[in-house]
Structure 1
Amino acid sequence: MYIVEDEPTIQDSLKVVLEGYLRAEIVGTAPSEAEAVAWLKANRDGWHLLVVDLLLKQGSGLGVLAALAALGPKCGLVVALTNAASADNRAQCLTLGADAVFDKAAEINEFLAFCADGLGEKA
């Protein structure tokens, strides 16, 4: 799994929860759009789950999703996990190729269930 999240505390919490709950390996993290896009370009087949926050200190998760879409077919699930899960942002994420969008505060259980279902054979 690869995580795009700029808040270190949230990034660390996601690592613990995802590794513990899904028993999957975190292959990397990025706090910015530029770092995430560079890693995704260099590792096109190196992940099974990409978790992207929309609000980053540098760039945005929407930029990451757009860059990923430009790379061609994706190799795993793409999930936006954000505090900015408005109807417009959800629609834009899905249009850019995200498989699902979840609100960090209100939908964490749904996020974990979606990831577990989607990665059942890969995790």
Structure 2
Amino acid sequence: MTSYPKILKVSSHTITCDDGTEFEIPVYQAFGYPVFDKDSIDNAIAYLNKRLPGWWYTAGECSVSSDATVGPDRAYIREPFLSMFDDGFSVDLAKPSTVAEALKAAVDEAFKAYSTAIQNNGGGS
């Protein structure tokens, strides 16, 4: 049977094992989750701004999921769309997933609903 080193200490950037090895990696990669990719989240934000200009977003993650919500910003979106979508569109993706994937999924869900609402209400922003 293969013997693996035991983890002694975990910090935000280092994992130290009982055999003296240290790993300079994010904690969630040690548990099989993808490494946070800055370019990926930047691309997801650009995707939001292109598909839904004037919409806000929130995003985050924990050990079990990546989450994102998008919604219309009162400064840019007018009625009836503001009231229709004021609660926003939330996505909760199980790991392994990334915040970027959750944000892109929330944007797609919102874009579909917003596009349908615009067609049904004769246009608007």
TM-score w.r.t. length of structure 1: 0.31
Q: Provide TM-score, normalisation by structure 2.
A: 0.31
CA radius of gyration, larger in = 2
